[in-house]
């Protein structure tokens, strides 16, 4: 059965997308109503409003959320985002996607997500630290290294995670590095974590193109130039591809000869912006409309910004042969169908961008055992798990009925693995 139309319409589009994808997989495996209800429910939904003293002497109240979707496979895991677009429905959708993502790459976590409604670009470092510490204290009762392990996401970074770890540790009375991942290496973070999502995306793309010449000399367009898109663009250029289109929220750039993505990414990580890099180093490049990045005439499109950017309105104008999702939920179900009808291969977020949570798992393991792996070891293990996951998805596609997409196969695998854990554990009492 499908969820009722009335129920779906009451959701925000991002949660509607997550639910629609789930029910598609549930239909394929003929899931009963009770299991559907269980897997579309949320174990914990935590909402808080808390004050922060601002630099100008005022006090501002912020809204924050932390959602646990399903913990059948282990402690829940998911990022914390700071954004003016944070809503409870968005956080729920992201938590659900994390459940399937962890199951697809077969790491022993369930899905969680969190967020604070704010604009970090307009806040000082002191204000961000106070906000982070207060939010950490607010969600302290439901996080912990054996319960819920936050990580960075949109608007947060390794420094945010260091503040979270310190706050939680101070309240417990001793240092607990395993309470968060994505920390700086100096305080228990993992080598390779910063570029992990982009690197995992590259590994999946390399495996997908291995029989047709690989990534080298492919033309690529990347929407979003943050930790995911920027790192992916950098690594793809270093692997021999030509990244001809990039964008962030402020500017979109095109250079038919290839953009110096490694240089632009380094400039941003040093405190600059994509626009300031373009103003100084953009010789030969031109500023274009943001829509042109999604509709570029390239081999590969990487949507790595926000949800619901590929829709039924623009999917028929996408020219890439392969769409590989760096963001969470960038493609609506209607766009999925357009791509399937047009023969465009879409590699879904639950597989493609799982490199971040995979290396977060490695960081958590290192923290629990007080070990430190080399970057070479981290990247080798990341490649192994990402390649294994890719082949699990393609094998499932090959064994399924004609017309099974990569998204359906990945969702199918993720849902089945969670169901297996639920059935083995049973329902308490």
Cα dihedral 388/315/307/108 (nearest 10): -20
CA distances, 128 to each of 120, 297, 314, 334, 391 (Å): 7, 40, 37, 38, 41
Please work out, in degrees rounded to the nearest 5, the angle formed at the alpha carbon of residue 264 by the alpha carbons of 263 and 266: 65
| DSSP labels, 255-272 | -TT---HHHHHHHHHTT-
| Alpha carbon distance 147, 364 (integer Å) | 12
φ/ψ of 147, rounded to 5, equals -125, -55
Name the catalytic one among 77, 92, 101, 113. Answer: 113
φ/ψ of 239, rounded to 5, equals -95, 5
- Specify which residues 68 forms β-bridges with: 44, 112
Residue 48, classed as helix, strand or coil, is: strand
Pairing of strands 76-83, 148-152: parallel
Give me 12's structure tokens: 């925000």
Is 113 one of the catalytic residues? yes
Tell me how crowded residue 122 is: count the other CB atoms within 10 A of its CB: 8
Closest to 148 (Cα-Cα) out of 86, 90, 215, 69: 69
**Catalytically annotated residues:** 113
């Amino acid at each position: 059965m499908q969820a009722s139309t009335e129920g779906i319409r009451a959701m925000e589009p991002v949660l509607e997308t997550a639910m629609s994808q789930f029910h598609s997989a549930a239909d394929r495996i003929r899931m009963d109503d009770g299991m559907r209800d269980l897997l579309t429910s949320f174990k914990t939904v935590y909402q808080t409003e808390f004050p922060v003293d601002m630099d100008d002497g005022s006090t501002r109240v912020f809204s924050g959320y932390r959602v646990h979707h399903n913990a059948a496979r282990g402690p829940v895991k998911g990022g914390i985002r700071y954004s003016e677009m944070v809503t409870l429905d968005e956080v729920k959708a992201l938590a659900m996607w994390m459940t399937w993502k962890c199951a697809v790459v077969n790491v022993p976590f369930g899905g969680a997500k969190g967020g604070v409604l704010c604009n970090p670009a307009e806040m000082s470092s002191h204000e961000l630290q106070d906000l982070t510490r207060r939010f950490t204290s607010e969600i302290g009762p439901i996080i912990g290294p054996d319960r819920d392990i936050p990580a960075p996401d949109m608007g947060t970074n390794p420094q945010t995670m260091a503040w979270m770890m310190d706050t939680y540790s101070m309240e417990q009375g001793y240092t607990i590095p395993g309470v968060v991942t994505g920390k700086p290496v100096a305080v228990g973070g993992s080598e390779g974590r910063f570029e992990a999502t982009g690197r995992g995306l590259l590994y999946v793309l390399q495996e997908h193109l291995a029989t047709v010449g690989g990534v080298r000399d492919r033309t690529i367009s990347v929407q979003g130039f943050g930790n995911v898109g920027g790192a992916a663009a950098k690594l793809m250029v270093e692997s021999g591809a030509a990244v001809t289109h990039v964008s962030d929220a402020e500017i979109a750039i095109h250079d038919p000869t290839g953009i110096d993505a490694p240089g632009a990414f380094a400039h941003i990580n040093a405190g600059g912006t994509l626009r300031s890099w373009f103003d100084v180093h953009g010789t030969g490049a031109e500023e274009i409309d943001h829509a042109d990045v999604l509709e570029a005439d390239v081999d590969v499109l990487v949507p790595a910004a926000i949800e619901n950017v590929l829709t039924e309105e623009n999917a028929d104008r996408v020219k890439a042969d392969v769409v590989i999702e760096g963001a969470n939920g960038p493609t609506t179900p209607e766009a999925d169908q357009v791509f399937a009808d047009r023969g465009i291969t879409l590699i879904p977020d639950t597989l493609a961008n799982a490199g971040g949570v995979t290396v977060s798992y490695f960081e958590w393991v290192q923290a629990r055992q007080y070990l430190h792996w080399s970057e070479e070891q981290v990247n080798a293990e990341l490649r192994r798990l990402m390649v294994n996951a890719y082949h699990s998805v393609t094998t499932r596609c090959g064994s399924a009925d004609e017309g099974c997409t990569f998204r359906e196969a990945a969702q199918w695998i993720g849902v089945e693995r969670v169901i297996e854990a639920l059935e083995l554990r049973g329902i308490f009492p």
